[in-house]
Structure 1
Amino acid sequence: ENQLNNDYYFSNPLDRGHLASRSSAAWGDSRREAKLAADDTFYYSNAALQHGNFNQDEWLALEDWVKDLTLDSTNKISVISGPIFGEFARSITPQGRSTALIPSGFFKVVVYIDQQHQLAVRAFMMMQDEEALRDKRGKQMFNFQRYQVSITEIEERTGLIFPQQLPDKNPLFFNENPDAVTDLNVHQFPEHIEVDAPDEMISMDDPRETVRDEEIPIFIAAALVNASGNEALGEWVSVINLSNEQVDFAGWKLKDPQDELVIEGVLGPGEAMKIGPLSPIKLGNQGGTISLYNPVGERVDRVKYPVQPNSLEDRPVIFAMRDLTMID
């Protein structure tokens, strides 16, 4: 009676999003046992109303990271996933059926024994409807962006209570902590760390980078990711100065998760420049991130670009019109 069925997924952009993925459950003492475990993930009780783009791209990427986790020492991990319903969650009412709330986002908590044989915890949230999750504290969390967060924030947003060992072993902070400010350079509470590659995840006692995205009006405006011919020569990134002052870019850097490129140039107010070739930076056609840092190592901007198929060859990705609105 209360179970959502295919009526809720028919002729709309919502997918039957697996909370426990088939590939993660497909294990056992025999091939038959592994298949039965995988088949158990296809019940509606394991499905949630997920936007198609969310389910087929960003949530899937997080599931793949969990499946391929190499930080553990026992070849075993525990994963807890579930929905988050915002204060103004949207709903769907199929003909003849009861109204169901659409999750505003989802969480995933990963627990394992690390290489030092200690309990380790990583917690993530992803939004699919940030309008329903506008927070009383801090900045907006953008749709389809993976954030590493604290266990306490997941508890507050869901009403769940996790064993005390989990928040104690999670490296991110929810409440203001003067020692974290001094020792780890944490300046935002609760913490939300954008994570689009394993290298961006925060571990226990990792110092945080200084982020000034909201303060300095210098932006990555566009990038040519899928260039025809020799991509290493054809790729470029453009940067725009939307401040009221001339900016000297000597010592500034563009970075991807693996490499960095020192840039130079001078831009007056409202001026832009194209930077390329980008080697050693590589803009992968399967999607990625680009970040801009000033000479003292503060992050001034960060953009995420999607998969670039052949149909988008030689068509730049435009970032300048992205929503930069910050809310209280």
Structure 2
Amino acid sequence: MSIGYDPFFLGEKHEVPLPLLIGKTAQDALHNGKVYDFTHFSIVMNQRRKCAIYSAACVDESRMVQIPRDNKSWHFDPRIGEENQAGHEYYAQNDFDKGHLTRRKDVCWGDRREAEKANYDSFCYANIALQYHHFNTGIWNCLEDWVLDGLENEKKMLVFTGPICKEEDEEYCGVHGEPGCQIKIPFGFWKCVFFTVRQKLTSLSFVIRQRPDRLHDSCEYERLETYQVPLAVITKETELLFMHSLYEANPLYFWKRLSPAAGPINIPEQHRIQQPSDIVFGREPE
């Protein structure tokens, strides 16, 4: 039975190692950034906010198994500790969903027993975060399917997902909880998908903002709108440092635009996603 994230899942020539924690993210990590392995995915935890820094999954659509959803399977992981996970009380009597980071269906593959174990593992409280209901049922939840549909033959992916946390995020301690719990509503979420096309490694990165307000009117993202972005944006928002070559594998690494004053320049860009055809899978050199 396969256990945990595999950096060589896409092949020996296409390594995608777990990212390095830097800055505040490294300071807040549980047990110095210890990696907790589950069936087909792995998690690194934020001790201060009692949620995952990221969840990284291996997805093989060619071996998917249909496992019925069971909302009675929610559980704490004893290795992480109940005190380091936000449980049911934070999702009761409010507008928040128990939003999976690694999607349940993404890890339900392999033989029947393996898929059932992965299904159960995905219902760990370490693999969820506070997500507004409309967020959890929109475009964001379809991205992996849209990416798979856009590929020709390759049906294996590596998917990283996590919250975008900011110091000014609103604390939420449940309906009956006392202030000071340190659990906060994430500003938004990010996702990175890695796959191969014609033996070439490609990465796609996405962000979404769920916070309803615009502090200082400085946020460039419309609420509950999904954007495709360069991988460098994920590093900026999360303080997760990926292997250098992975940044160049992203088609939005640079977008060439013309400036009347300066001539051709290369600048990072963001690209709103509203339908599958909006996803940029690659870009020919200009």
Same fold, judged at TM 0.5 (above):
yes
TM-score of the two chains, using structure 1 as the length reference = 0.54
Stretches of 4+ aligned residues off by more than 3 angstroms: 130-136, 185-190
Out of 53, 61, 66, which is 2:142 matched to?
61
Letter in 2 for 1:149: V
Residue 48 (structure 1) aligns with: 129
Out of 199, 206, 209, which is 1:124 matched to?
206
Distance in 1 (CA, whole Å) between partners of 2:216 and 2:149 is 32
Distance in 2 (CA, whole Å) between partners of 1:167 and 1:173 is 7
Q: Compared with structure 1, are the counterparts of its residues 131 and 78 closer, same or farther at alpha carbon in structure 2 (3 Å cutoff)?
A: same
Check whether the contact 1:49–1:103 (CA below 8 A) recurs between aligned residues: yes
Check whether the contact 1:87–1:132 (CA below 8 A) recurs between aligned residues: no
- SS of the equivalent of 1:153 reads helix
Letter in 2 for 1:61: C
- The one-character-per-residue Cα deviations of 1:229-274 (angstroms, maximum 9, x if unpaired) are xxxxxxxxxxxxxxxxxxxxxxxxxxxxxxxxxxxxxxxxxxxxxx
Distance in 2 (CA, whole Å) between partners of 1:92 and 1:140 is 25
Alignment of 1:96-245 (within 5 A): 96=178, 98-114=181-197, 116-129=198-211, 131=213, 140-173=220-253, 180-182=256-258, 189-205=267-283
Distance in 2 (CA, whole Å) between partners of 1:42 and 1:130 is 27
Q: What is the Cα deviation at residue 51 of structure 1?
A: 0.4
Out of 92, 95, 100, which is 2:172 matched to?
92
Check whether the contact 1:17–1:55 (CA below 8 A) recurs between aligned residues: yes
- The one-character-per-residue Cα deviations of 1:193-225 (angstroms, maximum 9, x if unpaired) are 0112221122332599xxxxxxxxxxxxxxxxx
Residue 163 (structure 2) aligns with: 83
Distance in 1 (CA, whole Å) between partners of 2:272 and 2:264 is 14
Letter in 2 for 1:50: Q
Check whether the contact 2:139–2:274 (CA below 8 A) recurs between aligned residues: no
Distance in 1 (CA, whole Å) between partners of 2:237 and 2:169 is 12
Gaps of 5+ in 2: 1-82
Root mean square deviation, CA, Å: 2.9
Alignment of 1:274-289 (within 5 A): none
Check whether the contact 2:193–2:205 (CA below 8 A) recurs between aligned residues: yes
Check whether the contact 1:151–1:167 (CA below 8 A) recurs between aligned residues: yes
Q: What is the Cα deviation at residue 134 of structure 1?
A: 6.2
How many residues align structurally? 198
Q: Compared with structure 1, are the counterparts of its residues 64 and 93 closer, same or farther at alpha carbon in structure 2 (3 Å cutoff)?
A: same
Q: Compared with structure 1, are the counterparts of its residues 113 and 73 closer, same or farther at alpha carbon in structure 2 (3 Å cutoff)?
A: farther
Letter in 2 for 1:32: R
Distance in 2 (CA, whole Å) between partners of 1:169 and 1:6 is 39
Identity %: 34
Residue 120 (structure 2) aligns with: 39
Q: Compared with structure 1, are the counterparts of its residues 85 and 197 closer, same or farther at alpha carbon in structure 2 (3 Å cutoff)?
A: same
Distance in 2 (CA, whole Å) between partners of 1:51 and 1:188 is 36
Check whether the contact 1:130–1:141 (CA below 8 A) recurs between aligned residues: no
Q: What is the Cα deviation at residue 113 of structure 1?
A: 0.6
- SS of the equivalent of 2:155 reads strand
Higher deviation after alignment, 144-153 or 97-106: 97-106
Q: What is the Cα deviation at residue 186 of structure 1?
A: 8.8
Distance in 1 (CA, whole Å) between partners of 2:119 and 2:216 is 36
Q: What is the Cα deviation at residue 88 of structure 1?
A: 2.3
Letter in 1 for 2:203: V
Letter in 2 for 1:99: Q
Distance in 2 (CA, whole Å) between partners of 1:36 and 1:133 is 42
Letter in 2 for 1:33: E
Query: Is 1:13 paired with 2:91?
Result: no
Check whether the contact 2:230–2:253 (CA below 8 A) recurs between aligned residues: yes
Gaps of 5+ in 1: 209-328
Letter in 1 for 2:279: M
Distance in 1 (CA, whole Å) between partners of 2:121 and 2:248 is 32
